[in-house]
Amino acid sequence: MADQILMPKATAVWLVDNTSMTFEQIADFCGLHPLEVKGIADGEVARDIRGADPIANGQLTREELDKAQKNPTYRMKAQKSRHAELLKPIKKGPRYTPVSRRHDRPDAIAWFVRNHPEVADSQVAKLLGTTKATIDQVRDRTHWNSANIKSVDPVTLGLVTQLELDAVVRLAAEKKAKDDAKRGVVEPEGPTLRPANEADLEQVDADEED
């Protein structure tokens, strides 16, 4: 029941205060442990939580409540709350870019192509609300407006926030590092020593010149 009950502790508080139901019945309905319900009744748990009437908010019918109070072994069935639809997480769709800023997207794409080629096209498309075809056109300079496209930071253009950009770049960098490690590619960390034979040959040439 826990996934159907809104505010389970607040509902349990109300049921403890306003009904004669057993702790087990309340626990079953609210998705809590019976000892937690006992703690609510003893004032040790949820002391600062205000009770929420499950009948008033559409999660329980009066008939179900009456059945439960008459029969300690009865387990109440929750109703679908009329508030549940409002509290469902909204699935994010493609990023919407205002019409006034859509002409800036090729500039932002060019910035990614130039400065962060490690970021996948799919990530760029999702972040900027564009398509892979457009990214390919900007990269290949086959875009209809290629002559006027310039590399501009998407944050400066107002297409994304700095936090969003940093997150995408960081994930891409971490993925690249992992892929490089799998392939055995090691990035140079600084100047490396030349082979000894090369240094010896240079010294011989220098001696001959002297």
Please check whether residue 138 lies inside any domain of the structure.
Answer: yes
Please report the pLDDT score of residue 91 as a whole number.
53
Which residues, including other chains, have CB under 8 Å from residue 183's CB and lie 6 or more apart? none
149 in the same domain as 126: yes
Number of alpha carbons in the 13 Å side-chain half-sphere of residue 117: 4
Q: Answer yes or no: is 47 within a domain.
A: yes
pLDDT of residue 190: 47
Based on the domain organization, do 70 and 125 belong to the same domain? no
Residue 196 lies in a domain: no
On whether residue 65 sits in a domain, the answer given is: yes
Instruction: For residues 140 and 81, state if they share a domain.
Output: no
- Domains of the chain: total: 2
Instruction: Compute the CA torsion angle 12, 13, 16, 22 (nearest 10 deg).
Output: 20
Q: How far apart are CA 40 and CA 50, in angstroms?
A: 11
| Judgement on whether residues 113 and 156 belong to the same structural domain of the protein | yes
Phi, psi for 22 (deg, rounded to 5): -75, 160
CA distance 19 to 8: 16
Q: Please give the full DSSP string across 93-156, using - where no structure is assigned.
A: -SPP--GGGGGGHHHHHHHHHHH-TTS-HHHHHHHHT--HHHHHHHHHT-STTGGG-----TTT
Range of the domain at 162: 99-183
Same domain, 72 and 136: no
- Average confidence (pLDDT) per 10 residues, the chain, 210 residues: 70 92 93 91 82 86 92 88 51 51 83 93 90 92 90 88 91 88 64 48 50
